[in-house]
Amino acid sequence: MERFLTIDKGLMDNFLERVMEYYQLIAPVRTEKGVLFEYISGKEEVDLTYSGHTILPPKKFFFPPVEEMFVYEYEDSGNIRLYDLLDEVSKGKRVIVGVKPCDINGLLVLDKVFTGEYNDPYYAARRKNTLVIGLTCNRPMEYCFCAYLNTGPFIKRGFDILLSDLGDKYIVEVGSEDGWKLIKFNLDLFSEARRDDVEEREKLLMKVEEDIRSKGLPYFETIEGALREKFLDEMWDEYGKKCLACGKCNFTCPTCRCFTITDEPNPDLKSGKRVRTWDSCHFLSFTRVASGEVFRRDRPSRFKQRIYHKFVYSINEIGSISCVGCGRCVEVCPAKINIMDVIKEVTFGVKPLSAKIGED
């Protein structure tokens, strides 16, 4: 479905207002902390001018940091009842607006991870009830490297509608039937796009791509083979010394999805809930079993787990690297460990072995 329209910037507010009549709206909001995705109560909160990325990726609305899965309750008779909280998740319709291409690709990675032999119903329910309105970038930030992974600034799928900022208007690409419906009922706000609008978007994104590529990164084609070769390299000890194992890189990553599951009893101790919480492979407790044994005890091995899962194991798991080049992990790292430096170091002098990256 290739269909282009435009909407004047002045009319965007009207569009969002109308969307809010039928949907819960999630959008980027500028706060003193930075730009965050939040539920919106008034259209004036929405900020579609942000560059780069929000602090946490939109995954928090699809796979929340703390998810209550079900409630258990002992009845007075001694019987036990379970109440599945999935039913709650399935209710309501949402629109998330302003999702950048890297983050859209992050969701596409999670889609692959959470489906297959088993399906994660909580994630699936939220994906199903949420329309995605993407927003392309006009300017890359310091740590953006999506262009090397084909996860941006151009994007072909994963959105219902895609917006690009052309100054006084947005050019709007329709990406799905649901996206078209959203526009169709508000067609009075949109005009047909002219050919030069589409060309202008192309030029704009090309410029962003060039800016990112001017950083001179290595090509990711060689990364899998290089990592396989260097599993026992001494370089990891150095990163292990630097890494503070704080877990921020995992939590801000659009594709990290490891979690733990616990029971939280209520004060009466006769009822309670099962909860899943984000976990990080950098924490010592991540691999701990009941006997107390920890399978990844030294820090370099835990540092490696994140890198290897993203660039090696993921290829077998979902058919592609699971890094989308958003640069969040670089930005939030207190020790300023730069994943791009890691990749440069690993791939230095290594010839390409495999090439499976980004979208197929």
Partner 1 sequence: MVSNPYLPKLAKIESIKDEAPETKTFKIKILDEKIRDSFNFSPGQFIELTVFGYGEAPFSITSSPMVHENFSITVRKMGNVTKGLFRLREGDFVGVRGPFGRGWPLEKMKENDVLVIAGGIGLAPLKPLIEYIILHRKMYNNVKLFYGAKTPKDIIYKDMFDEWRKYIDVELTVDFAEKDWSGHSGPVTVLFKNFQPSSDNIYSVQCGPPIMMHFVTRQLSSIGLPPEKIYFSLERNMKCGMGFCGKCMTGGRYVCKEGPVFNYSEVKNFLETPV
Partner 2 sequence: MDKIRVGIFNLSSCEGCLVQILNLEDILLNILKTFEVECRVLGTIGKSEPYDIAFVEGSVMSIEDEMELKKIRGASRILVALGECACHGGNFLVKDFDVDEINEMFPGSQKWYSHPIERYVRVDYRIPGCPIDKEEFFTVFKSLLLEKFPEQASFTVCSECILKENSCLIEKGVACMGPITRGGCKAICPTFNRECYGCRGLNDDANIDGLLHTFKEKGISIQPYMLPSKKGEVKRS
Q: Which residues bind partner 1 (CB under 8 A)?
A: 69-70, 72, 74, 79-80, 82, 84, 86, 113-114, 116-122, 124, 228, 231, 257-263, 265, 269, 272, 274, 276, 279, 281, 286-291, 293, 295-296, 301, 305, 308-309, 312-313, 316-317
d(CA 161, CA 157): 10
In eight-state DSSP terms, residue 311 is I
Nearer to partner 2 by C-beta: 129 or 287? 287
Please provide the size of the chain in residues. 360
Closest distance of CB 272 from partner 1, Å: 5
Beta-sheet pairing, 190-192 with 3-8: antiparallel
Answer for the pair 298, 308: CB distance below 8 angstroms, yes or no: no
Question: What DSSP string runs through 61-98?
Answer: GTS-SEEEEEEEEE-TTS-EEEEETHHHHHSS-EEEEE
283 binds, among partner 2, partner 1, none (CB under 5 to 8 A by kind): partner 2
Q: Quick check: 314 and 321 in contact, CB under 8 A?
A: yes
For partner 1, the closer of residues 33 and 91 by Cβ is: 91
Question: Does residue 57 contact residue 45 with C-beta atoms inside 8 Å?
Answer: no
In the bound state with partner 1, the residue whose beta carbon lies nearer, of 94 and 309, is 309
Q: Which residues are at the interface with partner 2 (CB under 8 A)?
A: 33-34, 36, 55-56, 65, 241-248, 250-252, 264-265, 267-269, 278-280, 283-285, 297, 299, 332, 334-336
For partner 2, give the closer residue by CB, 23 or 236: 236
Among partner 1, partner 2, none, what binds residue 332 when CB lies within 5 to 8 Å by partner kind?
partner 2
Q: How far apart are CA 178 and CA 39, in angstroms?
A: 21
Q: Which one, 35 or 147, has the nearer CB to partner 2?
A: 35
Q: What are phi and psi of 174, to 5 degrees?
A: -90, 130
Identify which of residues 65 and 116 has a Cβ nearer to partner 2 in the complex.
Answer: 65
The item of partner 2, partner 1, none sharing an interface with residue 290, based on CB under 5 to 8 Å by kind, is partner 1
CB of 231 to partner 1, least distance (A): 5
* CA nearest to 104, candidates 143, 166, 58, 62: 58
**In whole angstroms, how close is the CB of 81 to partner 1 at the nearest point?**
9
121 binds, among partner 2, partner 1, none (CB under 5 to 8 A by kind): partner 1
* Binding-site partner at residue 126 among partner 2, partner 1, none, CB < 5 to 8 Å by type: none
Nearest to 107 by CA among 40, 42, 37, 15: 37
Shortest CB 244 distance to partner 2, Å: 4
CB of 332 to partner 1, least distance (A): 20
Select the binding partner of residue 150 from partner 2, partner 1, none (C-beta < 5 to 8 A, by kind): none
Nearer to partner 1, 36 or 71 (CB): 71
Burial tier of 191 (Cβ tally within 10 Å: 0-12, 13-18, 19+): middle
82 binds, among partner 1, partner 2, none (CB under 5 to 8 A by kind): partner 1
Q: Which is nearer to partner 2, 275 or 315 (CB)?
A: 275
Q: Distance (Å, rounded) from C-alpha 14 to C-alpha 20? A: 10
Q: What angle do CA 38, 281, 260 make, to 5 degrees?
A: 65
Of the candidates 208, 282, 293, the one whose C-alpha atom is nearest the C-alpha of residue 251 is 282
Instruction: Choose the contact partner of 235 out of partner 2, partner 1, none; CB within 5 to 8 A by kind.
Output: none
